[in-house]
Structure 1
Amino acid sequence: MLAAMMTAANLGARVTGWGFVVFTAGSIAWTIVGLTSGQANLTATNGFLTLVNLIGVWRWLGKQRAYEDGGKSAAEASRRSAYPTLFTATGIAGMPVAGNDGDPLGKAVEALVSCETARVSYVVVSSGGVGGIDEELRAVPGEDLAFACDGMTLKRERAWFEGLPLLVEGDWPATATSQESREKD
């Protein structure tokens, strides 16, 4: 159960990797039980699970951890510079979003980047609800957000944000229209 919570929590590569270490210890223990009690099915199943779990350890404590560490080191170096300018793109999810008055508005769920320009087309912002229950998702155009290393600030009034159409789960738009586009329509 501990390993399942560690991997399901999505708390980063290290926690997930150590979850796979716990899974590996458990599958090895069950393999030993299967061997000593003559239970071939238990031995075969947990032998296979040990292999799968070792791949998880390699992936999350090896490769993915190295990727996360590289991104974090670049972002930290940027923050130590005179003009911090970098944060990891994967770090957008979960970033707090504040209104233009500084009050919390919600959190970023995902950012969608234009293939052609490599600019943030829009950020999906979650507001309301608890733990994903009764949350409202809205697509906020990138141009309507001020990005910082530790969060984002909406450049518009809260009422403008609340007037954005709610997104349907699993059916997000190809683009989000800016305030100027909506005013022209």
Structure 2
Amino acid sequence: MMTAANAGARVTGWGFAVFSVGSVAWSVSAYYGHQRNLLLTNLFLTIVNLIGVWRWLGREATHEDGSMTAVRQSRASSAPTLFSASAAIGADVVDARGEKLGAVVDLMLQRDQRSLAYVVIAQQELGGMAETLRALDPRRIEFGENHARSDITEKELDALPPLKADAWPSALPQRRTDDRR
């Protein structure tokens, strides 16, 4: 669960640490039980798990720390406030009342204008088993420390055209004409 949840570098890294302990234990058991195939399999898994520990508790955690340091420093400076794009992915999107609208799936950037084209939001359905993807105008969303806040209502979000899961548009889709302000 720790690695599957994708709850940040440290949680994922500790998930790999737990896996490492398990694969070492199985390796020891296989060695003393003279089970060569089990031993070889778990020695290989130990290597994979140690690489996961190095990647997630080492490199990725350092990157996460670096981005959060920049965010904290920008709050205290006169420069525009920074927000980590990697922290945006998975962030809950709430409306003005604090009600959850969905979660950020991705940020689509315009290469030629060096700006944010749209934010993809997933609205969860059936207890998280299904979702509807919608593109939200980045001017309608503000990223904070723990979530993103939008001035859009759930009804307005529902009126946005759904995105095909495997074919996102090259630009922000326009709202239906009967729903324009």
Q: TM-score, normalised by structure 2?
A: 0.83
| 2:38 maps to 1:9 | no
Q: What root-mean-square deviation, in Å, do the aligned CA atoms of Structure 1 and Structure 2 show?
A: 2.8
8 Å Cα contact 2:161-2:173 kept in structure 1: no
The letter of the residue matching 1:74 is A
8 Å Cα contact 2:31-2:39 kept in structure 1: yes
| 2:134 maps to 1:138 | yes
User: Which residue of 2 is the match for residue 40 of structure 1?
Assistant: 36
| 2:161 maps to 1:177 | no
Q: Which moved more, 1:148-157 or 1:111-120?
A: 148-157
The letter of the residue matching 1:26 is G
CA distance in 2, matches of 1:148, 1:101: 16
Q: How much has 1:175 moved relative to structure 2?
A: 1.5
1:51 corresponds, among 47, 52, 65, to 47
User: Which residue of 2 is the match for residue 167 of structure 1?
Assistant: 163
CA distance in 1, matches of 2:34, 2:100: 59
The letter of the residue matching 1:168 is K
CA distance in 2, matches of 1:32, 1:23: 14
**How many residue pairs get matched?**
179
| 2:57 maps to 1:61 | yes
- Secondary structure of the residue that 1:123 maps to in structure 2? strand
The letter of the residue matching 2:48 is V
User: Which residue of 2 is the match for residue 127 of structure 1?
Assistant: 123
CA distance in 2, matches of 1:17, 1:128: 27
Q: Which moved more, 1:48-57 or 1:70-79?
A: 70-79
| 2:87 maps to 1:91 | yes
User: Which residue of 1 is the match for residue 22 of structure 2?
Assistant: 26
Q: How much has 1:123 moved relative to structure 2?
A: 0.5
User: Which residue of 1 is the match for residue 68 of structure 2?
Assistant: 72
Q: Which moved more, 1:47-56 or 1:74-83?
A: 74-83
Same amino acid, percent of matched pairs: 41
Unpaired runs of 5+ residues, structure 2, are none
Q: TM-score, normalised by structure 1?
A: 0.81
User: Which residue of 2 is the match for residue 148 of structure 1?
Assistant: 143
- Secondary structure of the residue that 1:55 maps to in structure 2? helix
CA distance in 1, matches of 2:141, 2:99: 14
- Residue 157 to residue 16, structure 1, CA distance change in 2 (3 Å): closer
Q: How much has 1:148 moved relative to structure 2?
A: 3.5
CA distance in 2, matches of 1:157, 1:35: 60
CA distance in 1, matches of 2:163, 2:114: 23
